[in-house]
Amino acid sequence: MQRYFLSDPYNGKGYVVLQDDVYHHIARVMRMQIGDQFFVGFQDEKTVLVQIEKMTSSEVYASIVKWEEDKRELPINVTIASGLPKGDKLELIVQKGTELGAFQFVPFIAARSIVKWERKKQQKKRERLEKIAKEAAEQAHRQRVPTLVDLLSFDELLAFSDNFHYKMAAYEETARRGETKQFSSLLKKMKTEEQLLLVFGPEGGFSEHEIDALQKHGFVIGGLGPRILRTETAPLFALSAIAYHFELMG
């Protein structure tokens, strides 16, 4: 069943009014009619099943049928921080990471990032990523849309990490040395609704200076198994492992 997200919290009323892009998709793309039902997610993560009662040339009026009771979000809040990768890899990370349950995405400038975002284009890039996250959240029937943080410098990323319960940097050199326990040990420590920051380097990985700074700032440095993963693959592997640990293992 179709799902849409609104940018406002629930207002306490027994109906919703849908306009603009959502209206266009309902009326023009899906060609819904009076009596059709779909889900609406609010900014405060409340989700309702609604039924169309009235349609005009610019608005859809839908009454609330019932609240969604199933929990669809990961039990812990996972933030993915990615050193700027080349091409459209960040878009892939945001799209698939949203489907896998990420809570938040943070792009940052790493020492080995080849890509540079011009300041005047950063807002447009963020809006593009926010749109990708919203569409992926709708497709995956999420109950919230992950947030996008503005591009950070490496030092800003270190300061940003201060508010997390746990934080880990995935480092390929530890994987080459056969380290396999840090990630799983960290997950075993975590409790429901705690926050985890996972940091991934760009194509060239982290510099030794960055790893040293991360360690001094309280990060666990670990691998994600015996294979070396691409910068766009590693976050998705980590999110899949987290989902398996907290949801499928029960």
Which 3-state string (H, E, C) describes 50-103?
Answer: EEEEEECCCCEEEEEEEECCCCCCCCCEEEEEEECCCCCHHHHHHHHHHHCCCC
Hey, how many other C-beta atoms are within 10 angstroms of the C-beta on 50? 22
Could you tell me where in the chain the CATH 2.40.240.20 domains are found?
3-67
Alpha helical stretches, state H, the chain: 20-24, 89-99, 119-139, 154-160, 172-176, 182-189, 208-216, 234-243
> Once rounded to an integer, what is the mean pLDDT over residues 196-222?
96
Q: How far is the C-alpha of 18 from the C-alpha of 66, rounded, in Å?
A: 17
173-208 tens-digit pLDDT: 876 666 668 999 999 999 999 999 999 999 999 999
DSSP 163: G
Token duo for residue 188 = 């075993």
pTM comes to 0.91
CA-CA-CA-CA dihedral for 53, 55, 58, 59, to nearest 10: 0
Averaged pLDDT, 201-228:
94
Q: Classify domain 3-67 at the CATH topology level.
A: Ribosomal Protein L25; Chain P (2.40.240)
Q: Where in the chain is the domain with CATH 3.40.1280.10?
A: 77-248
Residue 11: predicted pLDDT: 86
Q: Average the pLDDT over 59-72 and give the result.
A: 92
Taking alpha carbons only, the member of 98, 96, 74 closest to residue 242 is 74
Helix (H, G, I), strand (E, B) or coil at 229: coil
Give the homologous superfamily in CATH for domain 77-248.
SPOUT methyltransferase, trefoil knot domain (3.40.1280.10)
pLDDT value for 195? 97
Average pLDDT over residues 140-165: 96
pLDDT reported for residue 168: 97
DSSP 18: E
